[in-house]
């Protein structure tokens, strides 16, 4: 039973990280119906930026909490900048091009960013300082769940609430919803669609970067390739939940995280990634609308 809970909690942690990335996929897809293949790379760049900042500050002897805070902020800012630039360079010129072109461009961007980090930094795994201290009050349950895990789950919950609030109640959120419903119409009623799209990329990148910092600090090492696998998994999660739906992305992520944890815990860890891909294939084939998505009939 204890083992079960352990797996469940590690699944939730894993799922929370997927959720932070999946939110970005789902938001972008909701707005421009594009799978932003390079989204995982933004997450990876966030993690690298945090690593660089944190390492420098550690050498300077700062205290952990301050480092965590500053590294996160810098990582988020940089990821936002990358997300924004990415859209301007690789997607905006293709807004009216066939879907296939935008998709190929996205793949190109992903390949480019991966190799950019590989060449500018290193191909090796880099050790990442553990930034989230173990709190003493959590000592009694430490065998079940660690402080970083709690921090990850909490952060995801907070981000989710904030995002929901933003989408539901702010002007930008309304503009986003309008744009995702019908871009032409939104434009006609005076929504600055370009701005909305930029903001979507920026917000999505920010949450991905948070995910990057948290997971890096939790796992303790990163390399240029982490974005790809995490990106694909998060995409699976977004699809599982129903792409375009934000609660769906979170739910899908948690389900995927737990499913993976149980699979590796009870069945086999060799086929962990295969398992995620099989979920993807099965979901897309049998219920492409996902758990919470509606199956729309596309208009002819």
DSSP 37: T
Q: Which is nearer to other proteins, 53 or 153 (CB)?
A: 53
Give 160's contacts (C-beta < 8 A, 6+ positions apart): 19, 23, 246, 250
294 makes contact with ligand ATP (CB under 6 A): no
Contact criterion met (CB below 8 Å) for 279 and 236:
yes
| Tokens linked to 132 | 């989230």
Q: Which residue has the tokens 């119409």?
A: 185
Segment 226 to 245, residues that bind other proteins, using CB under 8 A: 232, 235, 239
Min dist CB 178 to ligand ATP, Å, is 17
112 makes contact with other proteins (CB under 8 A): yes
Q: Is the backbone of residue 137 left (phi > 0), alpha (psi -120 to 50) or beta? A: alpha
Contact criterion met (CB below 8 Å) for 233 and 141:
no
- Cα distance between the two ends of the chain: 53
99 makes contact with other proteins (CB under 8 A): yes
Which does residue 42 bind out of ligand ATP, other proteins, none, counting CB within 5 to 8 angstroms by kind?
none
Residues in the interface with ligand ATP (CB under 6 A) total 2
Q: 3-state secondary structure string, 124-154?
A: CCEECCCCCCCCHHHHHHCCCCCHHHHHHHH
Given candidates 5, 69, 116, 165, which one binds other proteins under the rule CB under 8 A?
Answer: 116
Instruction: Please name every residue paired with 126 in a beta bridge, in sequence order, or none if there are none.
Output: 222
Given candidates 13, 16, 105, 217, which one binds other proteins under the rule CB under 8 A?
Answer: 105
* Pick from 172, 173, 45: nearest CA to 109: 45
Q: Which is nearer to ligand ATP, 171 or 299 (CB)?
A: 299
Segment 1 to 60, residues that bind other proteins, using CB under 8 A: 33-35, 45, 48-49, 51-53, 55-56, 59
Segment 264 to 293, residues that bind other proteins, using CB under 8 A: 270-271, 273-274, 277-278, 280-281, 284-285, 288
Using CA atoms, how far apart are residues 83 and 92, in angstroms rounded to an integer?
A: 12
Using CA atoms, how far apart are residues 228 and 232, in angstroms rounded to an integer?
A: 6
Q: Which is nearer to ligand ATP, 135 or 185 (CB)?
A: 185
Min dist CB 298 to ligand ATP, Å, is 6
Contact criterion met (CB below 8 Å) for 43 and 231:
yes
Using CA atoms, how far apart are residues 264 and 206, in angstroms rounded to an integer?
A: 30
Given candidates 120, 137, 188, 297, which one binds ligand ATP under the rule CB under 6 A?
Answer: 297
Which does residue 94 bind out of other proteins, ligand ATP, none, counting CB within 5 to 8 angstroms by kind?
other proteins
Min dist CB 22 to other proteins, Å, is 13
Using CA atoms, how far apart are residues 15 and 200, in angstroms rounded to an integer?
A: 22
Residues that bind other proteins (CB under 8 A): 33-35, 45, 48-49, 51-53, 55-56, 59, 74, 78, 81-82, 85, 89-90, 93-94, 97-105, 107-117, 119-122, 126-127, 129, 232, 235, 239, 270-271, 273-274, 277-278, 280-281, 284-285, 288, 294, 297, 300
Residues that bind ligand ATP (CB under 6 A): 297, 299
């Amino acid at each position: 039973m204890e083992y079960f809970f352990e797996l469940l909690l590690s699944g939730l942690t894993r799922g929370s990280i997927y959720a932070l990335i999946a939110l970005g996929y789902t938001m972008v897809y909701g707005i421009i119906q594009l799978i932003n293949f390079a989204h995982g790379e933004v997450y990876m760049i966030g993690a690298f930026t945090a690593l660089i900042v944190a390492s420098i500050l550690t050498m300077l002897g700062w205290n952990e909490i301050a480092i965590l805070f500053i590294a996160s902020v810098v990582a988020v800012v940089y990821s936002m900048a990358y997300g924004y630039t990415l859209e301007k360079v690789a997607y905006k010129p293709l807004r009216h091009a066939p879907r296939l072109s935008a998709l190929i461009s996205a793949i190109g961007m992903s390949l480019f960013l991966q190799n950019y980090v590989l060449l500018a930094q290193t191909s090796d795994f880099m050790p990442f300082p553990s930034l989230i201290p173990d709190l003493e009050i959590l000592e009694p349950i430490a065998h079940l769940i660690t402080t970083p895990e709690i921090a990850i789950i909490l952060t995801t919950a907070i981000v989710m609430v904030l995002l929901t609030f933003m989408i539901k109640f702010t002007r930008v959120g309304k503009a986003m919803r309008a744009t995702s419903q019908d871009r032409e119409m939104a434009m006609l009623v005076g929504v600055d669609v370009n701005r909305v799209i930029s903001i979507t990329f920026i917000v999505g990148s920010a949450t991905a970067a948070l995910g990057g910092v948290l997971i890096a600090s939790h796992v303790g090492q990163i390399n240029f390739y982490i974005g790809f696998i995490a990106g694909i998994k998060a995409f699976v999660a977004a699809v599982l939940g129903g792409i375009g739906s934000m609660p769906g992305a979170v739910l899908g992520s948690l389900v995927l995280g737990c499913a993976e944890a149980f699979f590796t815990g009870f069945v086999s860890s060799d086929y962990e990634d295969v398992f995620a891909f099989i979920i993807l294939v099965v979901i897309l084939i049998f219920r492409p609308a996902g758990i919470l998505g509606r199956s729309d009939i596309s208009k002819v």
